[in-house]
Amino acid sequence: MPTQWQVGIDIGGTFTDIIARHPPTGEVRAAKVATRIDDRVKGLVSALKAVSLDWDEVADLILGTTMVTNAIVEDDMADVALITTEGFGDTLAIGRQNRKHLYRLDLPSKTPSQIPPELRFEVRERLDHEGNVLTPLDANSIADVLAKIKASGVKSVAVSLLHSYANPAHEVALGEKLQNDFPYVALSHQINPEAREFERTATTALSASLMPLAAGQIDRMEVIKPKNSRLHLFHSAGGMAAPAVLRDLPLGLAMSGPAAGVAAAGHVAQKLKIAKALSFDMGGTTTDVCLISDGKAMVSSSRSLGDRPIRQPMVAVDSIGAGGGSIARLDHGALVVGPESAGAFPGPACYGKGGKKPTVSDANLVLGYLDADRVLGDNLALDANAARAAIQPLADDMALDVEDAALGIVRVANSAMVRALRRITVEQGIDGRDCTLMAFGGAGPMHAVEVAQEFGISKVIVPGFSSMFSALGCVSAEMSYTRQRTLRMASEAWDKTRLRQMCCEMHDGLGQHMAEPLKVAGLGVQDLLITKVALVRYRGQSYAIEVPNPNFSDPVALGQVFQALHEKLYGFATDEPWELQSLRMTASVPRKYKAKWAIGLKVTDVNPTKITKCAFETSGAIDTPRYGRDTLPVGKTLYGPLVVEDAFSTIIVPPLAMMTADADGNLVINCKGGI
């Protein structure tokens, strides 16, 4: 049986999305099924069955998963022992001086250390910040620590020695000793070879605690995977990597699903020649937004998840607790939406599974945006009476009728999304009003136009397969791997030899990580595309600015580029000394084929499937035509208000907006209210 199908699967907390493409014929299949929370590997096989495929028919399967994200958020991770340099065992407990709740003295000032005192151990050794040995690694100290860790019963060990990013020799020696007795060992110079002692230690400890989970799931998939099929995982920096790489670096999966959606948005933006785009991914629990410039998503190395810092290159997604399942309530008389969510079970009241609290989805049904007569997704029938009953107590408390209360819920949720968009544009020196909003996810296209109008954005794109866009991002992904190293090289002490040596070391390391997937794909190291980003800052600054494609042979020119970017971002630049803080390098392999994802729009006139009442803030409840997405004529402009529906999602075009469908299945919406 031929194995030519390319398949992308995104395993979410509620639904698993799958898109399959057959390159020789161009055939595309898509489905959305309930996630098997009890067994995600069996759920993967079920998803393939939903598009009438057996795994041995699949040439490439690229998987996005929330497995690691959920484990961190739910604090469901393995116990870990931590080994540090003598005198630094309390690094995790001390953390940073920032208070989580500045004015709430009754709440904890910071997140408790992931590792309790009894599992934190110290060894006698010391390096300076340049990697010179001040105190050799003491053998007796190692033996004592190993004995204590064995007695503790843990299987995972994290090692974070002082300044190991500058010289990993002591960590390497300690790691060799540990691997004889412990199946999971995380060394900080491999996880995060950078300065910032607390963040590097926290990231290494988090990685060690996730290794049993990631290894277990990956090993199971490798066992049942047919030999003639290639398996890849979508990683947080926006590409795919071999399972063997992410087995030992599980934090690469921490933003797997959202990163895949952003990657797909980047492909669409590139094809449509959109210079600045904002991805807008609204699901059941959160809304994720990201800035995309020239088809490339912004990448950040300093993130947090579950209130724990993560120092890894990741797509710079800003997430807020505003999704379809976000719960509305009054807080001291003010209407608040989220971050609490109804979750998958019981879910919003309108799902008819026992939910009682009012949510954004309930408000959308009451306002007529969702069609109560339609069955959504995985045989989900909506209950309009349950939605009204959930909102009624809230409406009574505000002395409003149910429709006005529902409008208030949507308005508050939209305002939170607008604030998130401002954060990712203003902080990057970008005027968000010049961007195009790329809306996807289960609920994104329902809210996108009104969010764009409030923000001042004039154009919204709803791409094809918008409700399963992360799966599309997976199947469109390129193989890539990213590493970052600390240099701290002063501009007045430029060392070209040291720079050349580090570039060679990073290049060789990337080649080693990519060797196996290149071999499996029938490619060689010569097929790798290497890109560099310099992270530059003024001396004494806490955070650096990214300078793409740096010219290391001309530090004066590099400094001028840095100053220009600093001026653009912060409104000023100086002649103060600067330094090259870090170097980020990415190795990638462009796909040999360019996928086409047209969804068969008709070049004919169209009539609405029905007309229903929808309530909008600008006009109240009015007659609104509803159209099937697969019957929209290409190139014909339709004027709001109107609703477009497909099997899995709903697109709202409010009054004052107009929509045109293009030949690739994208809906282009002109937000007249935003001009």
pLDDT at 163: 94
What's 147's DSSP letter?
H
DSSP 291: E
pLDDT digits (tens, 9 = 90+) for 485-517: 888 899 999 999 999 998 988 888 887 777 766
Buried/exposed code over 219-249 (b: 16+ C-beta within 10 A; e: otherwise) = eebeeebeeebbbbbbbbbbbbbbbebbbbb
User: Two tokens at 72?
Assistant: 């961190």
pLDDT for the residue 361 = 92
Token pair 């007569």: residue: 373
C-beta neighbour count of 368 within 10 angstroms: 23
Environment class of residue 137 by beta-carbon count within 10 Å: exposed (0-12), middle (13-18) or buried (19+)? buried
Strand partners, 308: 305
Would you say 462 and 671 are in contact if contact means Cβ atoms under 8 Å apart?
A: no
Distance, in Å, from the CA atom of 321 to the CA atom of 662, rounded to the nearest integer, reads 33
Q: Using only C-alpha atoms, what is the Rg of the chain?
A: 26
CA–CA dist 378, 48 (Å, integer):
15
Residues with Cβ within 8 Å of 567's Cβ and at least 6 positions away in sequence, in order, are: 573
Whole-number pLDDT of residue 569: 79
H helix runs in 427-545, sequence order: 444-455, 469-475, 496-520
> Which amino acid makes up residue 3?
T
What are residue 344's phi and psi, to 5 degrees? -80, -35
Please tell me the distance from the alpha carbon of residue 480 to that of residue 673, in angstroms, as a whole number.
Answer: 41
Nearest to 430 by CA among 550, 294, 574: 294
57-72: pLDDT as tens digits: 998 899 988 788 778 8
Query: Closest Cα to residue 252, out of 72, 394, 372?
Result: 72
Could you read off the pLDDT of 291-339 as tens digits, one per residue? Answer: 998 888 887 877 777 678 888 888 888 888 788 888 999 988 899 998 8
Q: Is the pLDDT of residue 27 over 90?
A: no
Do the bridges between strand 287-293 and strand 276-282 make them parallel or antiparallel, or are there none, so unpaired?
antiparallel
Question: Residue 641, preceding bond cis, omega within 30 degrees?
Answer: yes
- The residue with greater pLDDT, 311 or 478, is 311
| Residue labelled with tokens 């809306």 | 439
Rounded CA separation 234/287 (Å): 20
Nearest 10 degrees: Cα torsion 519, 525, 526, 531: 130
Strands 5-11, 58-65: pairing kind: parallel
Q: DSSP labels for 356-369?
A: -S-BHHHHHHHTTS
Is pLDDT of 38 > 80? no
pLDDT tens column, 518-530:
776 667 777 778 8
% the chain with pLDDT above 70: 94
Q: What is the pLDDT of residue 619?
A: 73
pLDDT at 620: 79
Write the single-letter amino acid at 398: M
pLDDT per position as a tens digit, 434-471: 999 999 988 899 999 999 999 999 999 999 888 888 88
pLDDT at 161 > cutoff 70: yes
Tokens at residue 581, please?
């803080």
For 379-400, what is each residue's pLDDT tens digit?
A: 678 899 999 999 999 999 999 9
Residue type, 357: K
CA distance 443 to 464: 14
CA 200/CA 207 separation, integer angstroms: 11
Q: Whole-structure pTM over 0.85, yes or no? A: no
Whole-angstrom CA distances from 404 to 38, 194, 332, 342, 621 are 40, 52, 19, 22, 11
Report the amino acid identity of residue 667. Answer: L
Calculate the CA dihedral of residues 469, 427, 416, 623 and round it to 10 degrees. Answer: -60
For residue 206, the surrounding DSSP H or E stretch is helix 197-224
Task: Report the pLDDT value the prediction gives residue 1, as an integer from 0 to 100.
Answer: 45
Pairing of strands 287-293, 296-297: antiparallel
Q: How far apart are CA 488 and CA 329, in angstroms?
A: 49
End-to-end, the C-alpha distance of the chain in Å comes to 55
Location of structure tokens 């330094």: 579
Write the DSSP assignment of 254-274 as a string of letters: TTHHHHHHHHHHHHHHHHTT-
If one compares 313 and 615, the residue with the highest pLDDT of the two is: 615
- Quote the tokens at residue 308: 């724990």
A 10 A CB-CB count for 637 gives 11
3-state SS class at 341? strand
Burial zone of 102 (CB within 10 Å; 0-12 exposed, 13-18 middle, 19+ buried): exposed
Measure the CA–CA gap between 561 and 581, rounded to whole angstroms.
15
Report the C-alpha gap between 672 and 658 in whole angstroms.
7
CA distances, 673 to each of 276, 404, 654 (Å): 20, 21, 10
In the predicted structure, residue 144 carries a pLDDT above the cut 90 = yes
> How are the residues of the chain apportioned to helix, strand and coil, as percentages rounded to the nearest 5?
35, 30, 35
